[in-house]
Amino acid sequence: MDYQNKLVLAPMVRVGTLPFRLLAAQYGADITYGEEIIDHKLLKCERRVNEYIGSTDFVEKGTDSVVFRTCHQERNHVVFQMGTSDAVRALTAAKMVCKDVAAIDINMGCPKSFSVSGGMGAALLSKPELIHDILTMLKRNLDVPVTCKIRLLKSSQDTVELARRIEKTEK
């Protein structure tokens, strides 16, 4: 996925739904991010094609609750953002959606207590080995690009060091 000279709709809580992503694309966004979905939540879902509105829905089993919705129109520019703290669980969840999205992004920046207490989001920034495990697992086993969102660390040197380590994650 090439981000150079692109307009990107960043991930936003309660806003990054399919209608908003399509609207952003209509107004020039080259890449759009969905809202963060926690791997545990996605694993409780089943993929359903909604022919009535032309979407692909990931619906929580036993309910009509749509956890993630996408469509063919955005297939080549939507990024699925996932919250995770486990490489195997992340891969299982990512495999569920990877044929319907352009890339998978791991949220390593959310400072909310829900994410941090679950070892996700910004909590990952203090666990470079776990970051390596998650990204390596995904990159080795998926055919879509894998990215991650990080937050600035206490020093710019630490941030650059972490970014370089992430960049060197290999298949």
Q: Which residues are catalytic?
A: 110
Contact 69, 101 (CB under 8 A): no
| Separation between Cα atoms, residue 17 and residue 123, nearest integer Å | 25
Q: Which amino acid is at 24?
A: A
How would DSSP label each residue in 58-89? EEETTS--EEEEE-GGGTTTEEEEEE-S-HHH
| Separation between Cα atoms, residue 30 and residue 153, nearest integer Å | 28
In degrees, rounded to 5, the angle at the alpha carbon of residue 22 between the alpha carbons of residues 21 and 23 is: 90
